Amino acid sequence: MFTVVPFVLLFILYGNTFTEYVAPWWCFLEAASYLIYRMLDEMDGKQARKTGNSSPLGLLFDHGCDAFSAGLVTIMIMKALALGNSFIVLLGLVGVTMSFHFCTLEEYYIGGLFLGPGNGVTDASFFLAALIFLAGYPG
């Protein structure tokens, strides 16, 4: 809900190209939605492991939702920054989806996803939310 609703709202209100500037209120809404999504995503996984309710199906569903959301959030960031219909947009989307794919492969073959301090999954979330928030300031 915190990823799909802003995505649909963005493309209904501002068209389907990456050249239009979006309203500041949408950027603030997306920054808040993204932080709420990340917080809820991390809390439900931790709670499932803590209570012993984690399962392979739950992990698959969670990673599927995260992969879907990663693509949508990348598209929204590219549109909010008005990068234009260019190769950069395609490269950004491919880069995010490939890194998510390789992390999932690593988890499958190694048996766990071991993230050190300063990792891109949690720390980059605040950077992305700040980037979207700052894109809302007219300048």
Q: Half-sphere exposure (CA, 13 Å, Cβ side) for 138?
A: 5
Q: Is 15 left (phi over 0), alpha (psi -120 to 50) or beta?
A: left
- Give the CA-trace dihedral at 81, 26, 72, 83, to 10 degrees: -10
Catalytic residues: 63
Angle of CA points 74, 136, 34, to nearest 5° = 40
Structure tokens at 42: 């991390």
